[in-house]
Amino acid sequence: MRRASKATATNLTPVDRPTLLYFRSDSCAPCVTQAHYLQALEGRYGSWVTIHKVDADLEPELASRYGIFTLPTTLIVDRSGEVRHINYGLTATKKLAQQLEKVK
């Protein structure tokens, strides 16, 4: 997973591949579990999906840009940069995998 910051915000959604944006915080207990789920996904889908983690405490402007108020939150962005799926709270690997397959 790549760490995203305000400086990299313009490059968060590459047009050549789908992107999963993972908004998290160190103070968020479910975020630890979500990170494990995403590591598994990265192992399976990393060849064609980019995963960025965004610390909402350190990057509040970026979280605000996407309307993030709940952690963890994951967004699935298609190749054109359009947000196709938003998941608030802990989201199972299976559900995320299904969403990624839809934007493949």
Give the per-residue pLDDT at 16.
84
pLDDT in tens, 30-81: 999 999 999 999 999 999 999 999 999 999 999 999 999 999 999 999 998 8
What residues contact 48, with CB distance under 8 A and at least 6 apart?
17, 18, 104
Q: Which of 53, 43, 50, 48 is nearest to 23 (CA)?
A: 53
What is the pTM for the complete model shown? 0.86
What number of helices (H) and strands (E) belong to the chain?
A: 3, 5
Say how far apart CA 100 and CA 104 lie, in whole Å.
Answer: 6
Q: Which amino acid is at 61?
A: E
Catalogue all structural domains in the chain, each as residue range(s) with its CATH number.
Answer: 2-7+14-102 (3.40.30.10)
CA distances from residue 56 to 4, 44, 53, 78 in whole angstroms, order as listed: 10, 26, 9, 22
Give the per-residue pLDDT at 4.
58
Half-sphere exposure in the Cβ direction for 103 (13 Å, CA): 25
